[in-house]
Amino acid sequence: MRRFVIVGHKAVTMPKFSLNDLPGGAGRMDIIARCINSSLFLSHDLRRNVDTYAVLLGEPNPPVTVRFNGEKVRYLSPDERSAAALIKKALEKGAPMTGEEESTPGVYISKRSFEDTISGLDNIIYLHEEGEDIRNVRFTGDETFVLSDHQNLTPEEESVLERKGAKKVSLGDLLYHADHCIVMVNYELDRQGL
């Protein structure tokens, strides 16, 4: 299973946001939506072997984690509004006291924090410009790739990764948007036949 964890530091945690203003009022929910697209879509197909975790840390009720499962997800189209609408539905349902609950087919909501989410996952890869060149890394196809939105991970979030023994992997000399990084990672794993 390929896993992507994307941290939305300002992404809102209530359902009353407008699908017409994802970058503004919804706290850069557009980034989260594009990351869901780039992690899950193939041409005329979905990547069944991907789980994508969106960790929403914006007001008024952080943290909330929404997970999209590539095998089971339905009603997801490639446009930003579509992924954002499924997040909105998850927030409307609300997170259970413990564990996660399915809000629409293949979409799950929980009150898990970034640390909770990471602690439940294995083989953590932190995409970072100081890491080992991705083209020199041999993957297994069972990795968790961690990305941040328009803000860097905080020192506290970085410590969470360090404690889990995360490996730093670099995409090269340039800095890219998170959704573009996900395309590159998926592509590298495809090229490795995983």
Q: Report the residue from 25, 74, 77, 120 that binds a copy of itself according to the rule CB under 8 A.
A: 77
Give the phi and the psi of residue 127 in degrees, each rounded to 5. -75, 115
**CB 176 to a copy of itself: min, Å:** 5
Q: Under the criterion CB under 8 A, does residue 6 sit at the interface with a copy of itself?
A: no
Residues 6+ apart with CB under 8 A from 3: 50, 51, 52, 53, 121, 143, 144, 145
* Preceding amide of 63 cis, omega within 30: yes
Q: Measure the CA–CA gap between 57 and 91, rounded to whole angstroms.
A: 13
Q: Report the residue from 51, 80, 143, 157 that binds a copy of itself according to the rule CB under 8 A.
A: 80
Q: Under the criterion CB under 8 A, does residue 10 sit at the interface with a copy of itself?
A: no
Q: Report the residue from 6, 7, 12, 31 that binds a copy of itself according to the rule CB under 8 A.
A: 31
* Residue closer to a copy of itself, measured from CB, 109 or 185: 185
Residue 57, judged by CB atoms within 10 A of its CB (0-12, 13-18, 19+), counts as buried
* Preceding amide of 78 cis, omega within 30: no
Q: Under the criterion CB under 8 A, does residue 171 sit at the interface with a copy of itself?
A: yes
Q: Report the residue from 42, 74, 96, 119 that binds a copy of itself according to the rule CB under 8 A.
A: 42
Q: Pull the structure tokens for residue 145.
A: 């790739």
Q: Under the criterion CB under 8 A, does residue 176 sit at the interface with a copy of itself?
A: yes
Binding site residue list for S-adenosyl-L-methionine: 127, 181
Note the residues at the interface with a copy of itself (CB under 8 A).
19-20, 22-23, 30-31, 34, 37-38, 41-44, 77-82, 135, 171-177, 180, 183-184, 187, 190-191
